[in-house]
Amino acid sequence: MNTPTIRIGSRGSQLALWQANHIAAELRAQGHTVEIEVIRTIGDRMQDPAFIAPATYPDGTPLDNKGIFIKEIEEALAAGRIDLAVHSLKDLPTELDPRFTLAAIPPRVDARDAFVCENFWGLHMLPLGSSIATTSPRRKAMLLALRPDIRFVEMRGNIDTRLRKWAAGEADALVLASAGLDRLGRTENVHQRFAIDELTPAPGQGALGLETRSPHHALSTDDPTRDPAIHAAVRALNHPATEFAVQAERHVLAALGGGCSLPLGAYCHEVDGAWHLHCAVAAADGEEVIHTVERARVGGMSAEEFGQRAAMGLQARGAMQLLAGSPTPTA
């Protein structure tokens, strides 16, 4: 099936453009014609100190942490201006608008979190009361479980902005996703990558999510064959093992509330023919952490069933009380 030109919508950050260009190269290698359109989201505009964020989007829906980086891109996708959005999967909500579909998830890279610091080569080496820049509730809670004395600095912006602010002395260290640092070649001050049971990654971390219009909704009414053809072209980039792993992780998140503000980590990988799904939920102050590992034979169940089973294990150990800020019940 011949495909029309595939138009990718991307944010203008260095990492977003790297990801868009990477997928464009993969599609071109399969013989497709690809263009990239840069779309400035409200999340990008919020990086400007002079910008005053509104309480709602123009359509009246309230701002949310994930939507601020994807809403304008999805609007362009719905309008037919672009055909494909390339996301960091951990930033994509667990439930998509039915007009769209997650057409493909390419192979995942390093999902771990990285410790960025020039003078101290590990979290345990930081002096008492040092500061770490992160806005992630998950990272804060799990770092406090390892080092209760740590202070946190709110630092927003893309990777280059955060690295620049850290280099200017605004924090003693940074904790960022290894994947972004690796993709941009900014690993010169990465001396520690946290083990999965120390700082369990966010669901989907390290993976890309390729979002297209659903071929069943036929939003491109001028040509009813366009959306199915584009979906098929993008689907060819899917990596089934990565897709299963990250979908299992996302089902854990969905079962426990689905929000990016949860101090919850989930990481699934294959070991000797079995899936291992590591999950962790932490109290906001790091005083308590629930960590579980579910196992299932490869091919034994769906990603949804596996993720829901892991979520039930967390719930049985008091995860919902922990997420709500209450102490977990003791036996």
What's the confidence (pLDDT) of residue 327?
52
Q: Mind listing the pLDDT tens digit for each residue in 23-55?
A: 999 999 999 999 999 998 655 544 544 434 454
Q: Phi, psi (5° rounding) for residue 251?
A: -70, -30
| 245-323: CATH topology | Double Stranded RNA Binding Domain (3.30.160)
Q: Taking the domains of the chain in order of start, what are their residue ranges?
A: 6-107+207-238, 113-193, 245-323
Q: How large is the angle between the packed helices 159-167 and 14-29, nearest 10 degrees?
A: 140
Q: Which residues contact 235 (CB under 8 A, 6 or more apart)?
A: 103, 104
Q: Mind listing the pLDDT tens digit for each residue in 148-191?
A: 999 999 988 889 899 999 999 999 999 999 999 999 999 999 99
Neighbours of 256 (CB within 10 A): 21
Q: Which two tokens stand for residue 38?
A: 């840069």
* Same CATH fold assignment for domains 113-193 and 245-323: no
What's the confidence (pLDDT) of residue 68?
65
The structural architecture, per CATH, of the domain 113-193 is 3-Layer(aba) Sandwich (3.40)
Please check whether residue 115 is in contact with residue 175, taking contact to mean a CB–CB distance below 8 angstroms: yes
What's the confidence (pLDDT) of residue 140?
96
Q: Which two tokens stand for residue 240?
A: 């089934």
Choosing from 44, 83, 91, 172, which is the catalytic residue? 91
Cα of first residue to Cα of last residue in the chain, in angstroms, is 61
What's the confidence (pLDDT) of residue 47?
52
What's the confidence (pLDDT) of residue 230?
95
| 6-107+207-238: CATH topology | D-Maltodextrin-Binding Protein; domain 2 (3.40.190)
What's the confidence (pLDDT) of residue 325?
79
Active site residue 91: yes
Q: Which residues of the chain have pLDDT under 70?
A: 1-2, 41-69, 217-222, 258-260, 326-331
Q: Which two tokens stand for residue 237?
A: 């980039």
